[in-house]
A and B are shown apart, each in its own frame.
Chain A
Amino acid sequence: MNRIGRALFALAALICLAWLGSGAVAAQDAPTSGPVEEVTLNDVNEVARDLWCPLCSGVRLDACELKACDQMKDVIAIKLAEGEDAASIKDYFIEQYGPQVLGEPPREGFNWLAWILPFVALALGGVFLWRQTARMMRPAAETSAADAGVAPPGAQKQTEDDYARKLDEELAKYG
């Protein structure tokens, strides 16, 4: 595996670790299920902040003051009081309003682009930076020769010697 291949592999491994890590954190954040004696506004907003107003454009449910959103928050309170956890409440709203109600695109179909493209851009950017850095760290003479598309000075001198020797030999034949 060449240097670029190793770099890409390391980058992909880092992305996977970051992704798995974020999933684990999200799972830890989810409220645990079970009957809740008293549901506070903070409890409701904890769930509502991961949902979006289905009528507005780009307004989170916890920040929306529409009547429709107040009704949604009422339902969240009822479901929390019944002991439902955040995940099942979100599933309920997805069933009601579709995946648009989530604050993030669901990981399926065309929406995968939204998840993959940033990482692809990051990987391509990383490869570009890696190559640029490697080029900058090469000796100046080698770099300029490579940029000019010609052999290094030593090799060029050798070529000139061969050429001169061959020319002398041919001239000697007819001289």
Chain B
Amino acid sequence: MADLSDIRSETPDAQAPAPASGMVVVWRAIFVGILVLFVVLLAWRLWDTNKSEHRASGMAPPFTFTTFEGETISLDDLQGQGVVVNFWASWCDPCRDEAALLEQAWRREKDNGIVFIGLDYLDQEPAAKAYLAEFGVTYPNGPDLRSEAARRYGIKGVPETFFINSAGEIVQTVIGPIVNEAQMEAYLAEIRP
């Protein structure tokens, strides 16, 4: 015998979801998925950008550049020597305050195992060459293409100067121009091999 529960079970379920609601769920899932993916990608980029914006310390980040004369120089090739890395630009007025002192120190120290390197930051070659000629700069200088070295060193502007010892460690970072000869001598003493 069939009881009433059987009869009830044969009755179409009035509360069954309409077929369209399944599509709505799928669309909602796609939308939320895209939103979550977008937020995750943005967060990752933000984290990555913040990481690269810290000013370099400890071991000096490696870099390679080509001078205005066409010579390619890599920091790795200068192991065992003290290195002064100066970020500058021809449009930078404070850079002019230290240009003569840097050249003077380079001429004095080049036989003492210290190499000076100038990296031209966000600048144009004609103006940069005119600047170098104006101050009679003779140590290796070249453009920091795409600001790759600037980003690795996390500079916030120019001039900034990094003093790297013969072991490849950054021992001093100077933000702004070095105008004091005694100060320059003290920094050089720390990186002289």
Question: What is A's interface to B at a CB cutoff of 8 Å?
Answer: 54-55, 66-68, 71-72, 74-75, 78, 95-98, 110, 113, 117, 120, 124, 127, 146, 149-151, 159, 163, 166-167, 170
Residues of B within 8 A of A68 (CB): 89, 91, 122-124
A149 adjacent to B124 (CB under 8 Å): no
A sample of 18 inter-chain contacts (CB < 8 A) reads A66-B91, A71-B90, A71-B126, A74-B124, A74-B127, A75-B124, A78-B126, A95-B146, A97-B122, A110-B41, A113-B38, A113-B41, A149-B16, A150-B14, A151-B14, A163-B11, A166-B10, A167-B7
Q: Would you give the shortest CB distance from A73 to chain B, in whole angstroms?
A: 10
Number of interface residues of B (CB under 8 A): 30
Q: Is there an interface contact between A124 and B31, defined as CB atoms closer than 8 Å? A: yes
Chain A, residue nearest B24 (CB): A131
Complex Cα spacing A68 to B91, Å: 6
CB proximity of B184 to chain A, nearest CB, Å: 27
Which positions in B face A, CB cutoff 8 Å? 2, 7, 10-12, 14-18, 20, 27, 31, 34, 38, 41, 45, 89-91, 122-127, 143, 145-147
Partner of B122, one of A55, A74, A117, A167: A55
Given that A120-B34, A151-B12 are contacting pairs, would A71 and B146 also be in contact in the complex, using a CB cutoff of 8 Å?
no
Nearest CB on A from B146, distance (A):
4
Q: Is the CB of A96 within 8 A of B14?
A: no
Given A71-B127, A95-B145, A163-B7 in contact, is the A110-B12 Cβ separation under 8 Å?
no
> Shortest Cβ distance from B10 into chain A, in angstroms?
8
Bound complex: CA A110 to CA B27 (Å): 24
Query: Complex Cα distance A68/B18, Å?
Result: 65
Evaluate whether A159 and B126 lie within 8 angstroms (CB atoms) in the complex, with A68-B91, A98-B146, A170-B7 already known: no
Residues on the A chain within 8 Å of B127, using CB: 71, 74
Whole-angstrom CA separation of A21 from B103 in the bound complex = 55
B146: which A residues are within 8 A, CB to CB? 95-98
Partner of B20, one of A66, A78, A146, A167: A146
Given A110-B45, A113-B38, answer yes or no on A98-B7 (Cβ-Cβ < 8 Å).
no
Cβ contact within 8 Å between B16 and A98: no
Question: A50 to chain B: closest CB distance in Å?
Answer: 18
Q: Are B17 and A149 in contact (CB under 8 A)?
A: yes
Q: Which of B12, B15, B20, B27 contacts A159 (CB 8 A)?
A: B12
- Nearest CB of A to B141, in Å: 15
CB contacts (< 8 Å) of A117 on chain B: these are: 38
B8 CB to nearest A CB, Å: 9
**Distance between Cα atoms of A95 and B148 in the complex (Å):** 11
List of A residues within 8 angstroms of B14 by Cβ:
149-151
On chain B, the residues within 8 Å of A120 by CB distance are 34
